[in-house]
Structure 1
Amino acid sequence: MRIIPPALAARLEGGATTLCRCWALRRPDGLVLGFTDHDRDLMFSGVTYAARSGLEAAEASAELGFAVSGGEVAGALTSAGITGADVAAGLYDGAGIETWLVDWREPSSRILLDVASLGEIRQSGSAFVAELRGLMHRLDAQTGRSFRAACDAQVGDSRCRVSLADPRYHAAGTVGAALESGRLAVALAGDFAAGWFSGGRLAWEGGANAGHAADLRTHLHGGGGTILELWEPPPRPAMAGDAFRLTAGCDKRLATCRDKFANALNFQGFPHMPGNDFVLRAAPDAGARPDGSSLFR
């Protein structure tokens, strides 16, 4: 049961209320932003909650037991608050958000309504809607290992043990031209076969995107040069001369682990585990002994 502070309870029981909502947004990099739907700025607990931020509650829901509660907040992308470039760069992925009910005449009279994290952010022009995910959402996160044919390690981690510092698995490069959204003509320091970096990672080291990283979709040769295709365009336009570093990708197959990385001993999948097609490929014979031998006919 939620305990309402006596001062706030007295305000709620009055004939007129002076309430507003405030949101404290805490990004994973430590930056804290405050927003309120009141018409002037408020401050408490060392955070300034900015008015005229365009942020407002769009939807909210609460569930009993271990069901995941949630909601949405809607707002405008502005240079003084949440910007489209920062959203695209993933700076708000997994950010925590606190929702407060506050008496704007006396901000010390307040109650914490909810603690959530940001989920999917939908952007349209200069507006956005952000999904709020309750604390129970964390219980849906997968933990432990999965038994499947593909490897479940990340290339280069402590289970994979491939050293990405090996010159064969990384390369420096610069942008020659941005051909279209997420497609770049580049020059690499070294000679690498087409597809070598497909599924890998691109980390920007220069230009407007310095410090950001992106997943690489494909690495191919065409038009007399090297072409990189990203899954998503960079948060800010890439310019000729922007520097980056590539690390090789892995498609999680045993053959790739063996032939590309010479690392089959550390393969973290189960490539010989029979699948559903093995079980279903032969119908049982009603007149035969039920010993499973029909699978091998």
Structure 2
Amino acid sequence: MADDAGLGEALSGELTTLAICWRVVRGDGVALGFTTHDGSLRIGGMVYANAPGIAPSAIVSSDAIEVDTMDIAGALSADAITAVDLALGRYDGAEVEVFMVDWQHPDGGRQVLARGWLGTVEAGSGPDAGFTASLRGPTAMLSATRVESYSPECRAELGDWRCRVGMRGRSRRAFVAASDGEGAQVVGVDAAAAALFGDARLRVLSGPTAGLERRIVAVVGDGLRFDEPMAVAAGEAVELFEGCDKRFATCTARFGNGGNFRGEPHVPGGDVLTRFGGF
């Protein structure tokens, strides 16, 4: 349905002047606009750049309770969606709205065609390679698991509203000493200090990857290993946030927070029969 009568009249005419636009808002707050029109359009104070290499697939919507999906494919543009940003995952999970306007009167109303979030965005190889992404509609959230399963490990994240451990003094800023893309050594973080950052987070503060975070999944000597590859260079600033291995013993001994432990450490697991020899 059109937002107002202006676009409705444009749709009912014998000759249409329509353009498809889409607004992309990344997780870091950066918003980008694109259009299939042969020139840029200003809509609601935002410029939608001409992107002839980007085109959405057929959009299907219905009243049924089902997952609405759409594919978006296109060519990489140096001043819009870059291969570097795609490789860093900056567009994964970005919020997208696809709509149609009359390009002669772009502020005269719009017809929303689809809303949702991008799945994993993949880029091809080579200078002329493109990218592909799937758009997951709001009904896709209905297929997600919302009920937690019991586990001996804590299901909260250190410092969140369920854990309630104060994070003041549990982070530090430093500089990268060396990195191989799979992990990094940080200035001032020796083997003893690195032990505090197992199952922790590292946020990049400077350089091309500024704003990105990686979870630290292992500590090898004084080296921190990432859950996903990330290119950081020596001299770039980072911020380290302490982590927790989510065990009840750690929660009580290190943090004194056993009352907020969000797990079931004393519930027997599936191996209870093998541990006690059965009956």
TM bin (shorter chain): 0.7 to 0.9
1:240 aligns with 2:238: no
Which residue type is aligned with residue 84 of structure 1?
A: A
1:160 aligns with 2:174: no
> 1:200 and 1:250, CA in 2 relative to 1: closer, same or farther beyond 3 A?
same
- 2:178 alignment partner in structure 1: 177
> 1:170 and 1:40, CA in 2 relative to 1: closer, same or farther beyond 3 A?
closer
Map 1:178-197 onto structure 2 (within 5 A): 178-179=179-180, 181-189=181-189, 192=192, 195-197=195-197
> 1:90 and 1:40, CA in 2 relative to 1: closer, same or farther beyond 3 A?
same
Deviation at 1:48, TM superposition (A): 2.0
CA distance in 2, matches of 1:44, 1:265: 52
- 1:120 alignment partner in structure 2: 120
Map 1:10-89 onto structure 2 (within 5 A): 11-52=10-51, 54-89=53-88
> 1:281 and 1:249, CA in 2 relative to 1: closer, same or farther beyond 3 A?
closer
Alignment gaps of 5+ in structure 1? 283-294
Count of aligned pairs: 275
1:150 aligns with 2:153: yes
Alignment gaps of 5+ in structure 2? none
Deviation at 1:86, TM superposition (A): 3.5
- 1:213 alignment partner in structure 2: 213
Question: Which whole-Å deviations, capped at 9, do the CAs of 1:61-114 have from their partners, x for residues lacking one?
Answer: 324332221212122332321233444555434432221123334433642222
> 1:261 and 1:124, CA in 2 relative to 1: closer, same or farther beyond 3 A?
farther
Matched residue of 2:139: which SS? helix
Matched residue of 2:56: which SS? strand
Question: Which whole-Å deviations, capped at 9, do the CAs of 1:221-279 have from their partners, x for residues lacking one?
Answer: 1xxxx222212233xx4222223232232232223334544433432101222444558
For normalisation by structure 1, the TM-score amounts to 0.76
> 1:10 and 1:252, CA in 2 relative to 1: closer, same or farther beyond 3 A?
same
- Give the share of equivalent positions with the same residue, in percent: 36
> 1:204 and 1:27, CA in 2 relative to 1: closer, same or farther beyond 3 A?
closer
Work out whether residues 59 and 73 of structure 1, in 8 Å CA contact, stay in contact via their aligned partners in 2: no
Matched residue of 1:244: which SS? strand
Which residue type is aligned with residue 187 of structure 2?
A: A
Q: Which moved more, 1:212-221 or 1:10-19?
A: 10-19
RMSD (CA atoms): 3.3
1:228 aligns with 2:224: yes
For normalisation by structure 2, the TM-score amounts to 0.80
Matched residue of 2:197: which SS? coil
Work out whether residues 76 and 127 of structure 1, in 8 Å CA contact, stay in contact via their aligned partners in 2: yes
Question: Which whole-Å deviations, capped at 9, do the CAs of 1:162-198 have from their partners, x for residues lacking one?
Answer: 33334xx54444322223x223233334651664422
Q: Which moved more, 1:210-219 or 1:85-94?
A: 85-94
Which residue type is aligned with residue 116 of structure 1?
A: G
Work out whether residues 196 and 219 of structure 1, in 8 Å CA contact, stay in contact via their aligned partners in 2: no
Deviation at 1:201, TM superposition (A): 0.6
Work out whether residues 94 and 117 of structure 1, in 8 Å CA contact, stay in contact via their aligned partners in 2: yes
> 1:34 and 1:158, CA in 2 relative to 1: closer, same or farther beyond 3 A?
closer
